[in-house]
Chains A and B, each alone.
Chain A
Amino acid sequence: MKPHRRKKLTIIAFIATGLGVAIGLSLYALSNAIDLFFTPSQIAAGEVNNGQRIRIGGMVKEGSVAKSQDSLHVEFITTDYSHDLLVRYDGILPDLFREGQGVVAEGMVANGVFEASRVLAKHDENYMSVEVKAALDAAERDRNLTEMATEGGPSGS
């Protein structure tokens, strides 16, 4: 029985080490490779550190897109209708990028401006991205709460 047991132990030790390495690797990767999502209001409130890699979402403000004539530089404003955020991007905007529609961008905040490394186009134009939607909902809730506070209570019923 002894050699069998040793064999079995070797194999189990092998599997355990392998699993341990894989789990460690996954957790390490997860702690480093996730992008948190923020809204223009959260950024205005200073919730984000300069240089932290994040995603933002909001609507592209009407009439805010400015394109350079001699380079790929583009600037536009995203808004959740409570706060605005200026986005700078060097690159080609996706086909479905449009003023007045939702947008999601990856990048980092530097001095109150969002430097985008990627502006995302979603495959489908019919639905707003969950992220944009959540940003706007959050802003709307906040806005309504402030309104209620200033008006001294909910109006109508």
Chain B
Amino acid sequence: MVPELGQFSLILAFCLAAVLGTIPLIGASTGNRLWIGLARPLATGFFVFLTLCLLVLGYSFVTDDFSVMFVAQHSNSLLPLQYKITAVWGGHEGSFLFWTWMLSGWMLAVCIFSKAMPDDFVARVLSIMGLIGAGYTMFMIATSNPFDRVLPMSPADGADLNSALQDFGFIIHPPSLYMGYVGFSVVFAFAIAALISGRLDSAWARWSRPWANAAWAILTIGIALGSWWAYYELGWGGWWAWDPVENPPMINWLIGTALIHSLAVTEKRGVFKSWTVLLSIMAFAASLLGTFITRSGLLTSVHAFASDPTRGIYILGFLGFVIGGSLLLFAFRAPLMKSEFGFAAVSREVFLLINNIILVVASAAILLGTLYPMVYQAVSGGELISVGPPYFNIVFVPLMSILVIFLGLGSVSRWKKTSLAYLKKQLLVVAIAALVLGLVLPLALTLEFSFGATFATALGLWVVLGILQDIRLKSANKPSLLAGMKSLAVSYYGMQIAHFGFAVILLGSGLTSIYSIEKSVLLSPGQSVELGQYEFLFEGTEHLSGPNFEAERATFQVLRDGAFVRELHPEKRIYTASRTPSTEMAIDAGFTRDLFITLGEERDSGAWSMSLYIKPFVRWVWLGAILMAMGAIVAVTDKRYRRLKTKTLEREAASDKTMQPVSS
């Protein structure tokens, strides 16, 4: 009976969403207070019933109810408890439920944190999110109901959860990715609500900003977790493969990045309004497109989620309705670009515009590379090609390098107008220092010149030194540097932390691509091999029995210049239930370098094939992502958002045109 309870709440949730998607929207247009007032309770109800669905599904997994088809397909009575719970989002139907639940969670958050916004605006926002929720719940009920039963032929036991998904990384990676994805629906709803009501003002931008930042921060963490998971789980030492399933989040992230910058300009200077609205729509479109690409199995037939075209058609239809509709609305309602710019050709606005263009172009290039095999197949009549990492690197690396140069210029320059002389005066020293240090540091550490390393280091330092210079400048008219630093806004520090994080990623990704070394060898017990400054001594293997696997566990002594560093134990496992072999790599993680070993297989002679890697600075990639996310969150906590919110209580008088001058 319990699964039917889930079924019932799913249908109820759909009904609530359908009402939420229409009544408050109409109410807001006609000024019907009662109908407007329905938005918050309905959104809360939507959240409650979806939570119930999720709990029911979780319960079915935990109690091994294999009469539920989704459970039978993705769980097994022997599966450890934590994986039974995470299997909830381990397949198509469950991950859609999870996605929709996240949406309802964001809706609840909007209910809670929107006390200061006008009711009709909140009603519109919730209503638009309700429409999205209705589309998703209808999709589940129609084509992918997680509560479908297999009766009367219910299996005695289930198939197993894909063994690659039985992993800690998988417990947290998809939820954070989905949460980020769905978070952009809030910004989208704000943009559409603003378009409908015709109030595209700086208040709208100010309300949107914390939501955009939060979604962006969570998406950043989600992508970083995915990269980290691939790094240690897939065992070939890569942290980014430009895989068709990795690309959509990246596209979304790039557009999201453009969006948070464009929102800043719209809030502070009241320009780029149409562009910001367009980016809000694009960011959400990218998240739907990401869902579409992974769910339809369009590009990744081998992916575990691959499913049939009917689902793909439904999602595509939904995408067409939501995004096509929004873009049409945009075309009719967006304010025309003013012929007057209100800023000079050298100004912060222009640098941020360039930043936006680069980010959007980069995401378009990634989209092109991701979809190109499909297009090629269609045009050439079935010939298959693949677009590999070289394409993405050739396009992405130069674009990001240019972006970094403008990042340094943009964050020092001023709104409205900056003189070139001023920029030169402030940044020439930074540029020279970055170049010199970029040349000297890698040379001093490795005694070898490498153009790539110099380039990456110089770019990274250009950002870092630029930040320091900016803080120094901004506190120049204060009695002391410390007093000056105290006077800077929290959101300013948020921005600089995020920029610093970006520099860290830049350094990490650049240096690890250049300086990583690896070796594949065949070693017998007692033999050792040298790699870089390290010596790896293979002592042998022993048999090991785990809870649900059998393993051969190897022992390695790692020495540096003859001195013991640590012992490493890579394993080769065979999972007993599914008989899947799996390589457990051993990693010695470090701030400046990772060492890791993966075992291949044993040869008849007793020798083992294995790969050894040294990956300098690889941790910096994820460290930088964490810093970026932190920066965005710090900016959200800036009290001016809250202060302005309380102020807006007695607003209405404070007309749309007024812009709050804000420090920074």
Contacts and interface: CB of A to CB of B under 8 A. Distances in A.
Do A and B interact directly, with beta carbons closer than 8 Å?
A: yes
Interface of A: 4, 7-8, 10-11, 14-15, 18-19, 22, 25-26, 28-30, 32-37, 55, 67, 69-72, 90-93, 95-96, 122-131, 133-134
Contacts, number: 130
Nearest to B398: A25
Nearest to B165: A123
Contact of A69 (B301, B388, B604, B610): B604
A26 B304 contact: no
Given A8-B339, A37-B385, A70-B607, 8 more contacts: A14-B354, A32-B394, A35-B386, A55-B386, A92-B601, A96-B581, A124-B164, A124-B302
A70 B605 contact: yes
B262 interface: no
A96 B162 CA distance: 13
B664 interface: no
B341 interface: yes
A95 B233 CA distance: 12
Contacts of A133: 301
Contacts of A69: 603-605, 607
B386 A37 contact: yes
A32 B521 CA distance: 32
A34 B383 CA distance: 12
B135 to A, nearest CB: 28
A123 B302 contact: yes
A59 B390 CA distance: 27
B598 A26 contact: no
A26 B164 contact: no
Interface string B599-625: 011011101011100000000000000
Nearest to A25: B395
Contacts of A126: 304
Interface of B: 162, 164, 234, 301-304, 306, 339-341, 344-345, 350, 353-354, 357-358, 361-362, 365, 368-369, 372-373, 376, 382-388, 390-391, 394-395, 398-399, 520-522, 580-583, 598, 600-601, 603-605, 607, 609-611
A130 B383 CA distance: 12
Interface of B, helix, strand, loop or mixed by DSSP: mixed
Contacts of A125: 580
B387 A30 contact: yes
A92 B520 contact: yes
A142 B353 CA distance: 55
A127 B398 contact: no
16 contacts: A4-B340, A11-B345, A18-B357, A25-B399, A26-B368, A26-B395, A29-B395, A37-B385, A72-B520, A95-B581, A123-B303, A123-B304, A124-B162, A127-B301, A134-B382, A134-B384
B303 A124 contact: yes
Residue among A29, A32, A55, A71 with the highest chain B CB neighbour number at 10 A: A29
Contacts of B390: 29, 32-33
A36 B383 CA distance: 8
Given A4-B341, A22-B399, A29-B395, A34 B386 contact: yes
A26 B385 CA distance: 16
